Amino acid sequence: MPKLIHTEIRVTDINISLRFYQQAFGLKETHRIEFDDFSLVYLRNFESEAEIELTWNSGQAEYSHGSGYGQVAFVVDDLGLHFKQLCNLGLKPAPIKEFRRGDELLARSFFIQDPDGYKIKVLQRGGHYQ
């Protein structure tokens, strides 16, 4: 059976992006592979074996996300607390929203953008989102 191992995010400043993912989501660098013109930095925490691969390419000042990119998602035990922590770090998450089907609450979440503008969804743990 295939196993999801990582998602790649192309970044323009590896140090700024690394600091963001460490502060916002507690991800730690697991390993790094350096080349002459690009670097691969792998991040994860102990909640999941899957990693985020930050890819820095020399000479690349920006990336176009196009209309195909959606989001990376994280789940947290206390959405309100995590929201406040991000605000206290000056990271400016969007307001918390509720996703409903009729009267049924399906999810509570908010979005935040990383330093390169990638959208990240943060969901309250529960239901489908474990």
For the whole model, what pTM was predicted? 0.90
The per-residue pLDDT for 40 is 97
Query: Whole-angstrom Cα distance, residue 57 to residue 106?
Result: 39
The per-residue pLDDT for 68 is 76
Residue 121: φ, ψ to 5°? -100, 135
Instruction: Residue 9: name the closest of 48, 37, 39, 47 by CA.
Output: 39
Topology of domain 6-124 in CATH is 2,3-Dihydroxybiphenyl 1,2-Dioxygenase; domain 1 (3.10.180)
Domain boundaries, the chain: 6-124
Cβ within 8 Å of residue 100, ≥6 positions away: 106
Contact 89, 105 (CB under 8 A): no
